[in-house]
Amino acid sequence: MSRLSSRHLLGLEGTSRQDIEAILETADTFREVLDRTIKKVPTLRGITVVNLFYEPSTRTRISFELAEKRLSADTVSFSPSTSSVKKGESLRDTLQNIEAMKIDMVVVRHSSPGVPYFLTRFSDANIINAGDGAHEHPTQALLDMHTIYKKYGKLDGLRVVLIGDAAHSRVLRSNIWGLKTMGASVAICGPATLLPYEVEKFGCDIYTNLDEALDGADVVNVMRIQLERQHAGLFPSQREYTRLFGVNKDRLKRLRRNYTIMHPGPINRGVEITSDVADGAKSVILDQVTNGQAVRMAVLYLLRGRDDEGGVS
């Protein structure tokens, strides 16, 4: 069963294990396409995908664009700084105008949580969330899970520690939902001020001491400290954060022997992770980037398999 139960990918909270498995398995096939001389298949020929990136992005935008092109879709990329958004056009009007040009899929990133869901209310296109505020970033979590799965052959029973800002990190939140659905044991570690209200509802182990969190972990996924979201002074200084929550070589001794270091990027080198760890033999940070394309190809392929009535097209 490869089809997804939803026409859209808005987040991993509530996404079923079957859907996640379908995406991860399909991504495996697309990973092989990326190793070919001609990294292109005609699968989405005739499909038009619009990339609406209202927030800056390097790897996610390029990854989606390449994934679309490698599936032979026609792509249009939109950035608000060079569009009518500058003239005050609303999000809804922008999308409805673009949709009037007969598009099929929309990949959207926006600083406001819920924008991808909002778009589904008046658009017939398949909507893919490429990051909505501090809410979710499902394809990043899926590529993280795919990377872990490729290394261990499973997700069930692995102990994964997510380090960083649980209050603001959409990557961390999507990872929590996805990993838990897939049976991994998830721990969050970060300053108490960066843990959200009612954090216990995530159903994870919560740590404010990094050394304790790392004990016996298989996978360490280090999140970027989002300096652009830190105006409220939620921790005293970068130096203190590094001392208490920075992943360095000494701290790796606490992990299991076959451990894995991950980071969704972009890395603040020397802040949340030291360069020798980020570039070390156990780091899969660049594999994550490659796998990201395969996962996004899988998501585009699987979502396009569904028609407007919820059937398969």
Scanning residues 265 to 304, which ones bind another protein (CB under 8 A)?
Answer: 301-302, 304
Which window, 43-51, 164-172, 186-194, 258-266, contacts another protein (CB under 8 A)?
43-51
Residue closer to another protein, measured from CB, 46 or 233:
46
Q: Is 28 in the site for another protein (CB under 8 A)?
A: yes
Give residues with Cβ within 8 angstroms of 148, minimum separation 6. 155, 158, 160, 184, 219, 260, 262
The sign of the torsion formed by the CA atoms of 178, 307, 108, 112 equals negative
Q: Is 7 in the site for another protein (CB under 8 A)?
A: no
Residue closer to another protein, measured from CB, 133 or 305:
305
State in angstroms the smallest separation of the CB of 180 from another protein: 26
State in angstroms the smallest separation of the CB of 70 from another protein: 10
The sign of the torsion formed by the CA atoms of 139, 140, 141, 146 equals positive
Residue closer to another protein, measured from CB, 135 or 296:
296
Angle of the 59-70 helix axis to the 285-304 helix axis, nearest 10: 50
Q: Is 67 in the site for another protein (CB under 8 A)?
A: no
Q: Is 313 in the site for another protein (CB under 8 A)?
A: yes
d(CA 33, CA 30): 5
Residue 88, classified by CB atoms within 10 Å of its CB into exposed (0-12), middle (13-18) or buried (19+), is: exposed
User: SS3 sequence, 251-262?
Assistant: HHHHCCCCCEEE
Residue closer to another protein, measured from CB, 44 or 134:
44
Q: Give the residue among 129, 136, 127 at the shortest CA–CA distance from 98.
A: 127
Q: Is 74 in the site for another protein (CB under 8 A)?
A: no
Catalog residues that contact another protein under the rule CB under 8 A: 1-3, 26, 28-29, 32-33, 36-38, 40-46, 301-302, 304-305, 307, 311-313
